[in-house]
Amino acid sequence: MKYAYYPGCSAHSTARDMHESALAVAGALGLDLIEPAGWTCCGATAAHQTDPVLAASLPTASLLKVRDMGLDMVVNCAACYNRMKVANHEVSTDPAMRKKVSDAVGRDYDGSVKVRHIVEVLLEDVGLDAIKNSIKQSLNGLQVACYYGCLLVRPHEVTNFDDPENPTSLDRLVTAMGGVSLDWPHKVECCGGGLSMSRTDIVVSLTDSIVGMAKAAGARCIAVSCPMCQINLDMRQQDIEKQTGTRHDIPVLYVTQLLGLCLGISPDRLGLKKLMVSPASVIEKIEVHANG
């Protein structure tokens, strides 16, 4: 199965581990991810908050490159995924916007490239049965809080990802890996996303409530699928401790990192050293089972 894989800018900075684990897992499951040459930044929250035409044009530049490849676009970063889908929606439903965008990009685009999140590909194209069959090491009952955040599920009429209030895609993957996915109320709460640097105060307060809730629900780790959620929930635990004295100490892993461990891929290849809160307890849980 061949896909055009859009890594997104964070794949080469804060979320190298998201990128590395996606490639490793794809390789193990026989997915062929091809990076479109010359892809550009999706513009993220910054473009969205600045100018609607800029916000639709930046993703379009990369969508056009994928259209030329004749493949579906697979995205791992939830923020890029959201911007790509919004751009598709805008150019296909608003003729005036389509004209402005084609003028800015220099080529006309109809919004027809199919954009999919890697989790959708894992569930729909690979399938839970195949995943279960490929698994070498179980999560061994590890209690996982699956956290979706905003960008995968909202706006639902645009992203059309799972159920917007109670999504279960990550939960189904975790269960297939032998983990226990927890029922908890903060699955689709917001972590503060792109305001991590500009409004750190807000982000620390939001992440404290999310990580605290996961812990109260019994989580031993949080599974995410968005680089902004990952860095906020993981890195801000230091700030939470400094400001409130509460030490949560909950590792925050990409679902592709968890899956990679279960597929027997080494922690190094999955970028696990990049996490701020050590995932040692998670790795140990998996290995104890594998060796015993």
Partner 1 sequence: MAITIKKSSKEVEGLIRRVEEISGVDLNLCYQCKKCTSGCPVAKMTESPPSEIMRRLLLGAGDELLGSDIIWACVSCETCSARCPMGIEVAAVMDALRILALEKKAEKQEGNVPLFNRAFLSTVRLFGRTYDIAMIAAYKLGTLKLMNDTEKFPTMLKKRKIALLPPTGADRKTARRIFKKTKQNKAGKE
Where does this chain bind partner 1 (CB under 8 A)? 9-10, 12-14, 16, 37-41, 43-54, 57-58, 61, 65, 100, 103-106, 150, 153-156, 164, 188-190, 192-195, 197-202, 205-206, 231, 235, 238, 273-274, 276
Q: Report the SS3 class of residue 267.
A: coil
CB of 167 to partner 1, least distance (A): 12
Q: Which two tokens stand for residue 145?
A: 């809080």
Q: Which two tokens stand for residue 236?
A: 């801000």
CB of 41 to partner 1, least distance (A): 4
CB of 46 to partner 1, least distance (A): 4
For residues 25 and 47, which CB has a smaller minimum distance to partner 1 in the complex?
Answer: 47
For residues 86 and 177, which CB has a smaller minimum distance to partner 1 in the complex?
Answer: 86
**CA–CA dist 179, 161 (Å, integer):** 22
CB of 117 to partner 1, least distance (A): 17
Angstrom CA distances, 280 to 241, 255, 277, 283, stand at 20, 16, 9, 5
CB of 80 to partner 1, least distance (A): 11
Q: Is 44 left (phi over 0), alpha (psi -120 to 50) or beta?
A: left
CB of 131 to partner 1, least distance (A): 29
Residue at token pair 């179980």: 138
Q: Which helix (H) or strand (E) holds 231?
A: helix 227-244
Q: For residue 82, give the nearest of 121, 125, 115 by alpha carbon.
A: 115
For residues 189 and 287, which CB has a smaller minimum distance to partner 1 in the complex?
Answer: 189
Q: Please, are residues 262 and 140 in contact by the beta-carbon 8 Å criterion?
A: no
CB of 16 to partner 1, least distance (A): 6
For residues 19 and 172, which CB has a smaller minimum distance to partner 1 in the complex?
Answer: 19
For residues 164 and 178, which CB has a smaller minimum distance to partner 1 in the complex?
Answer: 164
Peptide bond into 155 cis (omega under 30): yes
For residues 17 and 179, which CB has a smaller minimum distance to partner 1 in the complex?
Answer: 17
Evaluate the CA torsion angle 214, 220, 225, 230 in order and state its sign.
positive
Torsion on CA atoms 164, 166, 169, 171, rounded to nearest 10: 160
Q: Which helix (H) or strand (E) holds 34?
A: strand 32-34
CB of 10 to partner 1, least distance (A): 8
For residues 23 and 173, which CB has a smaller minimum distance to partner 1 in the complex?
Answer: 23
Q: For residue 217, give the nearest of 171, 176, 178, 281 by alpha carbon.
A: 171
For residues 103 and 110, which CB has a smaller minimum distance to partner 1 in the complex?
Answer: 103
Residue at token pair 């801000």: 236
List beta partners, residue 117: 75
